[in-house]
Structure 1
């Protein structure tokens, strides 16, 4: 019976064949232990000299790290294993001998590991993080599909930018200027006017010369947009969504979280509703914490967000930022023209902002005024303004950065581990 490691629990006491790679091994005189991986998981194969042919035992002793093979054996329960099962090996058929695999079971420098990212992905830690990423993606589709959202795919090549062009990658689109998308939001607003509640899930690009543990040049965004949803409605969707994906990972990635040494008690607390603090309150709080350099109207940096987050054991919304700090499309607070109806969601444990969202301006004249104030090309945004000309309604949306969310939930220190092939400042290889 041919199967996978993740499915062996169905075959306890039976003989199965698994296509696998050798992650590691050790042997004594009469027994060899093979650490096997097949992409679905890891399992130990035990080869007892007395139970196999001399040829099979010698293969088990001499096989090298990352060699590929078909291994046949009996599935046994093993309470000592985190996985709960092991394979009593009967036969080995080597597919390919791996020679001098560069990532050995020892400490390696980060640049070396990044140069070998295509191979580093095979490690237990990276495997666990990628499985958690996959579960967050699966749960994202489940959440929005179950809540009446329609998946819409905005373009990656755009002729305009939602937040200006200073941090965009420029390219030529035949004889026109074009940019790699930094957000699908504007297009999602158009889709929401057609379909009500929509979400996108795709790559976005920021030509931002940052080298922090929170920044990538290319990353993935989940961007819902909702017609007839005002500011409070928007926050409710955000906290329900984040709670849903955290609980999904806790339920379906127990082994991966354990492998990463993640303190799951912190994740178990993540349930809506989330605490809130206004920008005004945040400034006062930071002054009390000794951040005398920050003034009203300044944006928050990583140290400021971390200080605020440390006061809570849940994600926290920072709401009502100054109008001057935020993009042109955000709806002003009806009671205060100097702040907008927006919120950033800050993850606990120093992982920073994972969501930015707002109610959008739905008044045509105000939007035109904001486009002018920001010095944007009126003609390029003509289609966007027309959304307010033909049946405008209050609407809201947000964007969640997948990689920061993966890093937070998995406990990874740097976002470079939360995407298969990270694009960082000065790194485009492999």
Structure 2
């Protein structure tokens, strides 16, 4: 029997007869020879079919096949230096699985973004999307490897929650039987804090939701986030862990998906520079720098996308901005003992204008301080009683962070908009398909 081989593995089978199961990406046909562009989910290859090698009626059917029809081809793998994968297939057998009756809606011509998003279920088949999702897969794989190699435990945190982790103004609420209102999780952090008191070093990876009416190229309503939490970690320990993680992700993606990045037009040399340690600046110094550059911003204002771009554009690797004012940060962040007006937190800004990819802090571990902060933020103490309990029984200093998967994908791939960084984007005006 002819072995079924993936396109990505064809180079190891030069001179052998193989079987490819896939789809017709494109074709160029003539009277005596047809060039079939094929894909199978692992890569892309050209198949050359000569009329003399198969039944005349079947050759006629192949010539009439519409784009994205499914087929199985068999033939001999031949070296081809012009091919991006170094080979092509000399086809001697074709089995048509499904011949499309209508034209494939996404042709080689230019389409508007609304059209492509409306046909996202089909757009995923395109070559560009193939490369993006391959990189995304390698990013998530690297994240998991990094933690498991360091003896972190995976903790699956809940999607439904009664405790708000960030701002109440951007939550999705819903009725939960007779319990009352619950929220779609903005973060799994609070639950990871409970888990790190049991397991020491923990991480999660899952969907999170923000009901923000934002239409920027950096925002999604539903996105995936990886979070980590470590008992006995200080703010400094936390920043070092973030640096190590981001370096590991970037270097592993270069190692495993360099050809995909090149296909996307990414400048690999810029990514190769992403190695720890990363440059750091305090929020206070960042404000001074922005003011010197003529920006109308004062201490206590949050940094906007333009400000982040200005700060990070001076670097060839991510920039860590630390110690923000406590009034613009979440209730759970530990005050700086040297300056109680700021908290021991940091944001990591990706270079080249991609903005914040990591948000982090040392957590408040003293019960009285936490209760006071909950009151300052006007959050209901009773809803956080379980979280307060963590400070009642064996509390220790601890720290953690969250890294946005899609923002990381967008940065590493060099995408103009975050909607391409996730298979099915949920934006302010889109939940279809």
Give TM-score scaled by structure 2 length: 0.97
1:372 aligns with 2:375: yes
Partner secondary structure for residue 132 of structure 1: helix
Q: Deviations over 1:11-67 (max 9, x none)?
A: 211111111101111134432211101111111111133444434433332221000
Calculate the aligned-residue CA RMSD, in Å: 1.0
Query: Is 1:224 the equivalent of 2:228?
Result: yes
Aligned residue in 1 for 2:83 = 81
2:166 equivalent in structure 1: 163
- Counting only pairs closer than 5 Å after superposition, residues 374-393 of structure 1 correspond to structure 2 as 374-393=377-396
1:153 aligns with 2:156: yes
Which residue pairs with 2:26 in the alignment?
24
Q: How far apart, in 1, do the equivalents of 2:26 and 2:259 lie?
A: 19
Partners of 1:294 and 1:29 in 2: CA distance: 69
Distance 1:139 1:56 in 2: 46
Residues 396-422 of structure 1: per-residue CA shift (max 9 Å, x gap): 000000000001001111110000000
For structure 1, list consecutive stretches of 5 or more residues without a partner in the other structure: none
Runs (5+) with no aligned partner, structure 2 = none
Task: Give the corresponding residue for 2:208.
Answer: 204
1:99-248 mapped onto 2 (5 Å cutoff): 99-175=102-178, 176-248=180-252
Question: Is the 1:83–1:255 Cα contact (8 Å) retained in structure 2?
Answer: no
**Cα deviation code 1:200-240 (max 9, x no counterpart):** 00000000000000000000000000001001100111011
Contact 1:34 1:60 in 2 (8 A): no
Q: Secondary structure at the match of 1:380?
A: helix
Q: Would you say 1:259 and 2:283 are equivalent positions?
A: no
Note if contact 1:317-1:345 (Cα within 8 Å) is conserved in structure 2. Answer: yes
Q: Compute the TM-score of the two structures, normalised by the length of structure 1.
A: 0.98
> Take 1:133 and 1:393, find their aligned partners in 2: how far apart are those partners?
35
Q: Give structure 1 regions of 4+ aligned residues with deviation exceeding 6 angstroms.
A: none
Deviations 1:169-226 (A, max 9, x none): 0001112110000000000000000000000000000000000000000000000000
Match of 1:319 in 2: 322
SS in 2 for 1:166: helix
The whole-number CA distance in structure 1 between the counterparts of 2:416 and 2:324 is 28
In the alignment, is the contact (CA less than 8 A) between 1:59 and 1:92 conserved in 2?
A: no
3-state secondary structure, aligned to 1:61: helix
Match of 1:275 in 2: 279
Counterparts of 1:35 and 1:201 in 2: how far apart (Å)? 36
Q: 1:352 maps to which residue?
A: 355
1:328 equivalent in alignment to 2:334: no
- 1:6 is aligned to 8
CA contact (8 A) 1:128 1:257 kept: yes
